[in-house]
Amino acid sequence: MFSFPSENAYRQVLDGIGMKTRVYGEASLLAEFKLAAGSALPAHAHPNEQTGYLVSGRIRLRIGDKATELGPGGAWCVPPGVEHGAEALEASLAIEIFSPRREDYLQYLDAESAR
């Protein structure tokens, strides 16, 4: 599967947070998230390892009992089952990989850009 840049198909999953699944395979899934300034991702946990990269903007990210501010180029890894959450301090764009793939995110596939 290939994925090409597209401004279409962002689905609002929370107030101020849009996402789309870009590509996926048997064991992993790559998603793109647009976060409006001031939006928040509530604390949650899931069985997937989650590795991310902040393309632009600024966020405050909490993983377990540690929190930090990240800017463009910042990266993170959330182990499976660890509670985490985030707040967008500025409008931000993040790319994240989930392994094993998040089956619930298959519905957000950007079919126009994935071939």
The tokens describing 35, both together, are 């976060």
Predicted TM-score (pTM) above 0.75: yes
The tokens describing 43, both together, are 């604390």
Contact between residue 86 and residue 59 where contact means Cβ atoms under 8 Å apart: yes
pLDDT over 70 (residue 115):
no
Tens-place pLDDT, residues 75-100: 999 999 999 999 999 999 999 999 99
Residues 6+ apart with CB under 8 A from 67: 60, 61
Among 34, 20, 23, which Cα is nearest to 92's?
34
Among 92, 79, 99, which Cα is nearest to 25's?
99
Could you tell me the domains of the chain? 11-108 (2.60.120.10)
pLDDT over 80 (residue 32):
yes
Reported confidence tier of residue 110, pLDDT bands at 50, 70, 90: confident
Higher local confidence (pLDDT), 61 or 108: 61
Residues 6+ apart with CB under 8 A from 82: 45, 63, 64
